[in-house]
Amino acid sequence: MSNKWELFEIEDHEKINDLLDKRFNELIKVAKNKIENGGDPIVAGCDVRKNMEYLMSSIEGFGASDTEPRAVLVTSICNELGLSLIEKL
């Protein structure tokens, strides 16, 4: 099992990784739909980031709101939405 979100590898971290993956994929799908309907990609990416950061900050004990998972988040958003990492999310 990969630790995509770079969580602390303690009991149940796989479940938290799965939860974050599932929510991220849901939010990316919504963002892509907004973009396809004329929405601004930066705004859509910011919406994903804000929603994910809210979820990540609510998860205690796994380091989900630390710097590394947030870097994974921004990189993943940019990759999924075709944004440059230098664009302001």
Identify whether 19 is part of a domain.
no
For residue 65, what pLDDT is reported? 82
pTM of the entire structure? 0.90
CA 79 to CA 25: how far, in whole Å? 12
For 3-69, give the DSSP string: -TT-----TTHHHHHHHHHHHHHHHHHHHHHHHHTT--HHHHHHHHHHHHHHHHHT--SS-TTSHHH
pLDDT digits (tens, 9 = 90+) for 8-25: 888 888 899 899 999 999
For residue 34, what pLDDT is reported? 98
Identify whether 5 is part of a domain.
no
pLDDT (average), residues 52-80? 91
Identify whether 4 is part of a domain.
no
- Quote the mean pLDDT of the chain: 90
Identify whether 35 is part of a domain.
yes
For residue 89, what pLDDT is reported? 65
Identify whether 72 is part of a domain.
yes
Identify whether 12 is part of a domain.
no
For 9, half-sphere exposure in the C-beta direction (CA atoms, 13 angstrom radius) is: 5
Domains identified in the chain, total number: 1
Backbone angles phi, psi at 74, to 5 degrees: -65, -45
Structural domain boundaries, residue 34: 28-81
Identify whether 52 is part of a domain.
yes
